[in-house]
Amino acid sequence: MTTQKPRTGRRGDALSKERIVRAAVETLDAGGEDALTFRVLANRLSTGPGAIYNHVANKNELLRAATDEVIAHVTTGAVTGPEPGEAIRAIMLGVFDAIHAHPWVGAQLSREPWQTAMLQIFESAGRQLTALGVPEQAQFDAASALVNYVLGVAGQSAAGARALPGETDRSAFLETVAAQWTTQYDAADYPFVHQVAAQLAGHDDRKQFLAGIDLILAGISTLR
């Protein structure tokens, strides 16, 4: 009679959307996209797979919530910025770093681009464009270009993680890619691919990501 609202279960806490999402993020971080199943999630939460549906509509909603949680930290952190171009760089780098830390986020962002996470990025970028002095009717195109670029990088990051699930040695991976390119594609038919393959080994993803952002920003400064 005294226990009207038992906030904690017998063992550990009661099931809740927060706990489920947190467990999902941990599972995804540990084992990648394919590791997340309702059965292993239920097991980790010591319950049955059906119980999860009391707090989450389906797997898509769960993935959406997990992605939003990771990205929310990025956009809220980098609000203050003196120069608008620098602010855009900071936001985009934040997204890049989040995706590199959680490659499944990249896959989810490119699968469902218009979920809250991406809209927040779109909003933050758009505001800075106004500050940059980009004409209003060009702002949409400029923000879209930035977002599309980030989505492309996000997808590639996820693909890389899928290709080598547990690996950490990035340069070894790039060497494998370069070797595949030079082996499978003829130098006569693919001269540019061969030229780039040589540069691939000593190659910094993060720096190249920023170079792309700067290229788009340089193009945007043309619009003023």
Partner DNA sequence: ACCTGAACACCGTTCAAGT
- Contact between 15 and DNA per CB under 7 A: yes
User: How many chain residues touch its own copies (CB under 8 A)?
Assistant: 55
CA separation for the pair 224, 125 (Å, rounded): 16
Binding mask 169-188 for its own copies (x = CB under 8 A): --------x---x---x---
CB atoms inside a 10 Å sphere around CB 13: 11
CA separation for the pair 44, 125 (Å, rounded): 38
Q: Which is nearer to DNA, 65 or 143 (CB)?
A: 65
Q: Which is nearer to DNA, 46 or 221 (CB)?
A: 46
Which window, 33-41, 128-136, 137-145, 214-222, contacts DNA (CB under 7 A)?
A: 33-41
- Contact between 131 and its own copies per CB under 8 A: no
What's the min distance (Å) between Cβ of 2 and DNA?
17
- Contact between 44 and DNA per CB under 7 A: no
| Helix 116-132 / helix 59-77 crossing angle, nearest 10 deg | 30
Q: Are 118 and 109 a contacting pair, CB within 8 Å?
A: yes
- Contact between 145 and its own copies per CB under 8 A: yes
Residues 72-111 that bind its own copies (CB under 8 A): 110-111
CB atoms inside a 10 Å sphere around CB 84: 18
- Of 12, 53, 76, 135, the residue at the interface with DNA (CB under 7 A) is 53
- Contact between 55 and DNA per CB under 7 A: yes
What's the min distance (Å) between Cβ of 127 and its own copies?
5
- Contact between 39 and DNA per CB under 7 A: yes
Report residue 186 CA to chain centroid gap: 34
Which residues here bind DNA, judged by CB under 7 A? 14-15, 36-40, 46-51, 53-55, 58-60
